Structures are given as structure tokens and as C-alpha cells.
Structure 1
């Protein structure tokens, strides 16, 4: 077998110099300037990530929560990251997954909101339009085999209508009265469904806050990539607001009775 890549066959030298065969001064003027600028790279996996986002419908609107941690692998690296982002007047999005991809999505949405505002046509983007836009962006990137490594919840209230929906890196979308991403989709979603489903039109804001806080506490106990600092977004007909970071009240006394964690060995 010939182990020299330059002899394996490649495009014409006058169009492409894949292996830097020629000195720089002899390369075609329309070709790449060095061997490292050739080819396209794709993100193979997320690096700095956020975990669960929770969202529910209540009587007056939508409530959403996410903690402030961005993990570098298993290292709790960044502890003041805001994963809830207002978009326009009526909508809040919450993202789990890769934080750099989320920052890119935020820049796309900022440009979209500015463009809509400059049209001066009296219309503003609502949560349905934001969700539709994100679904197209995520699916478009998926079809290019270059996905944005995020799962996103979109919630808002416009014209008296509550809206809550999900979109992920494959462009998968669905809507429900309770939603969760990340590990919360496994251990918080059942709690949310039991507490909320059938009560969406009677649940008060105070009751919704209590449900969200209880689920965030469970996630802190059970999810190794979560944090006890979190924020809550509330979207009603009067607008969207995101709280300052809150600290969960937790107790680890129960761990003394768990084999492998406390003193108990039998």
C-alpha cells in the first residue's frame, strides 16, 4: 500500500492543493493559502453545557425556570450563566445544551427582533413566530449535518393566548402544558404533569412558583450537572419578567441513612 497521501489522487493542482505540495509562491492564486484553511469542521459534541429547563402553563400565563450553571464536562465551571432570555415583548426562551450555540441563537433572535422593529408595520413577533423561526433554523442546521446542540423551550403570551412549545437540535417540535429539557425530562416532567395537567386554567402564580421550586430542588438533589442557584421567568399579558438569581433551601441530612453516602454500610 502507498502510504503517502500526496500519491493517493486528488483534484487538479490548478484548482486545489490539498496537501500543500507546492510552495506558497507557486500555489494557484484562487486556491487556499495554507493546508489548514481547507475543509470544513463540525462541532462533534457540546463542550460547555447547561442542563434542565422547566416550563408550565398557569392561569395567567407561562412560568419557566433554569439554573445558572454551565458545566465544562463534569466541572461546574460557570455559575452565573443566564439561560433564560427575553425575545421581544411577549416571549421568553430557555435553553439547555451547548452555551456557545445558545449565544449564537441569541444573536440570531436579536437581529430578527431589530429587523421586525425597523419595519414599523405595527406588528410584533409573538411566541408562535419565534418558535416557528427557531424550528426552521434548527432543522436547517440539522440537514447540513451541523446542528446547534441545544434543546429550547419557547413560552409567551400574546393577544390573550398562552403558548408553550419545544424545539431541539433535530428540529423536533411539540407543545404541551408542561415541558422540560435535559435530565428534567426524566425526573421533573412526571412531577410537573401530576401537579399541572387539568389545572392549567385555575393554577395561580403562587402555586406555579411552588411547583417549579419543588422540581428545581429535586433536580439539584438528583442531577449532578445542576446548581442550587436558579431564575424564574414569568410571562403574562402585561409582559415578561425574569427574576434575579435565587438560592434553593436544601437539606442533606437524609444522606446519612443512604448506603454509600452516609455512615451506613449494611
Structure 2
């Protein structure tokens, strides 16, 4: 059976695994440093489609975590990657922010309000009734419906906020059309991440804090799954599901490799007291 010793590449969730409300989780900085020092390929994954990888890299750095922008994979990037494979140089009407529009532009898509090939819904803090109405009309006229992720709510310092899944549900109710959701728990997001770093599922691990997204998608993508208890899921939550991660750890600190002490070295000879 595959064990942690077989893992050569890592995918990890961000919120609840590396940070919690902009505060780094103990052990996260050290684990990231270990991966960089070892040359271990890794990607930090997030369903958040608001920010570009450059934005997220800067936000993590301000929290004390060093993650290069090329080591961040968002649901917006996964969505752009998927759409470019489906219809190169296609057109889209987008409800979302810079993270999503930038990813689609860089994938060769054109933003339009004239018979778009796709309506793409992502997360935004400025949902507009006018934009939602346009999306409903475009989908009714034949545009294909895509959502970056299924999350119904998102966190804020004031409490929960409606997120992509909530807005997608409104559009579904009005059109009768369900979106194709690219982000977690769709294992497609993990497969596109694997392609990004040239990794294979057989030697890649996934670290997450949610059974219903990170773990189930990791299992379906054929990855070694690690659940940490610093985010959403706790031991009671785990029992609700018919599947199990390969490992359950208190935090990412438990993944840090301990360096051998000098006294543990086989080359160290005991003193003879002479």
C-alpha cells in the first residue's frame, strides 16, 4: 500500500490548513520552507476565484508564509484551463472579479455581452441584479453555464457572505439549468493541478481540512489524502462520511520532517572517558 514515504509532490488547501483568517497555522511556514529546500513540487489550492495568484501570494507573505505565485492554483485558473480545452478562443459573460477575468483573458477568452459561448459565475463581493439578469437571459438563449466552485457561503470578519454556489442556485432556479462546477470537490481541479506541476496521482498527496471537498476529491483523483483538524472538519464530522482519508493529523506541523540530532548520527562514536 502507498504510504507517506511514497509521496514526492504535494497539493494543499489554503484556508484552514495554512492560514486561518490571515493568521498562519503553526507549522505552515516550516513545512513550506522544507518543501522549498527539498525541491518538492507543490501547489496551494483554493476555491476562491476573487484574487489572482499574485494577489494571494502577497496576502500569504503578509501573514508570514512564502508561497510563489506560480505555486498557487485557484478555481479561476482551473476554470480557465478547462474552458480553453473545451473551446479555444471562446467567449464568456463573467460574473466575478479580477482573479477570474484575468485567468480567462490569459487563456485566450474574450469577455462579451453578445451571445457568449459561456456564462461563468465566480465569487465576487459586488453581485449585481443586472448582471444576474443578463446571465439568466444568456443561459436561456443557449449559453453554457459554468461555476468556478460550489461554495454557498464564504467567511468575513462580520460573518458569512453569500458566495458562488448561492448565486448559481438563484440562476438555476430561474433557468432550470445546473452549472458545470470546476472547483473542489470536482477532482478535475486536482487533475489540472497535477498537470501544472507535472505530477502523477500515484506519488502525490493532498492536504485539506474538509471531508466534503478536499478529501473526497482527493480520493476520487487517486491521491494520498491527509485531513488536518485545524479547519472545518473535526473527529465528529469525520464519522458522518462513508469514506476516510489516508491520514488524520492535528495540523500540518505533523508533516514536518524532524532533522536527526548529532547524537543520533551513526558516525558519532561514544566517548570512552579517556
Q: Same fold (TM over 0.5)?
A: no
TM-score (norm 2): 0.25
TM-score (norm 1): 0.26
Which structure is higher in helix share? 2
Which structure is higher in strand share? 1
